[in-house]
Structure 1
Amino acid sequence: MVHETLSYEKFDVKSTSNGGDVMPMLADFGADLVILDFRVAGINGGELCKQIKCHPDYKDIPVIIFSAYINHDDELYGYGCDAIINKPFDLTELVEKVNSLIL
């Protein structure tokens, strides 16, 4: 749904359900923004965010983390993400958050 919504909004979107694919995808794709689910297959989305933010080539790329853990925002921001979207979320909120981070 996220992929389809952002594609509809004219963003060039690449997606994967495997956390191990994210760093290679960043190298190949040259992303302007990364959206991670906290519960991504293969690795915790927060730890993946930390890897992105610690990498010299990717540290300035904004990262959004989706989470169903509403009361853990402080913990999630501790991973270095730029924004959190709590599940369930409104698609308008998603598009607004993406636009605010890349425009």
Structure 2
Amino acid sequence: MEENSKILVVDDDSGIGEMLKTLLEFYGYEVIVTEKPLETQDLILQHNIDIVLLDMLISGVNGTDVCAEIRENPETQDTPVLMMSALHDAGPKCKEAGANDFIAKPFEMEDLIKKINGILGK
């Protein structure tokens, strides 16, 4: 059996983070949740993360900046990033920052799983 993909969820809403963790684990993923966007790169490296699910607006930090920093670091630049936001015009901004894909909140779990599997090539 193949090893489960590891997803890092970066969202300052602990309710959303925990809900995503529970649902993604149901689909067989290994999930780590953080409310601290500045820890994102360290967590990617510590846990050998396969994909980052990154909220665009996180308590005083812009997720697009976090995404751009992931892309600028040679150790993390190839880690796929799926950004999410409830802002209607967020998609293009997230892609400009280097996100592999974008999903608008609120989203259906099936749509999220399709996007994750698509990015991971499953």
Normalised-by-shorter TM-score class:
over 0.9
Secondary structure of the corresponding residue to residue 42 of structure 2: helix
Higher relative contact order (CA 8 A, sep 6+): 1
Partner of 2:45: 27
Deviation at 1:41, TM superposition (A): 2.9
1:14 equivalent in structure 2: 32
Q: Are 2:93 and 1:80 aligned?
A: no
CA contact (8 A) 2:54 2:81 kept: yes
- Secondary structure, counterpart of 2:33 in structure 1: coil
Equivalent residue for 1:4, pick from 13, 22, 33: 22
Q: Do structure 1's residue 66 and structure 2's residue 84 form an aligned pair? A: yes
Q: CA deviation at 1:27?
A: 1.7
RMSD (CA atoms): 1.2
Q: Supply the AA of the counterpart residue of 2:85.
A: S
Pairwise mapping of residues 47-66 of structure 1 onto structure 2 (< 5 A)?
47-66=65-84
In structure 1, give the amino acid aligned to 2:57.
Answer: R
Is the 8 Å Cα contact of residues 91 and 103 (structure 2) preserved in structure 1?
no
**If each structure's strand is expressed as a fraction of its own residues, which one has the higher value?**
2
Residue of structure 2 equivalent to 1:90: 108
Quick one: distance in 2 between partners of 1:42 and 1:20? 11
Runs of 4+ in structure 1 displaced over 2 angstroms? none
The letter for the 1-side match of 2:100 is D
Give 5+ residue unaligned stretches, structure 2: 1-18
TM-score by length of 1: 0.92
1:36 matched to 2:44? The reply is no
> How many residue pairs end up in the alignment?
103
Residue type at the aligned position of 2:52: V
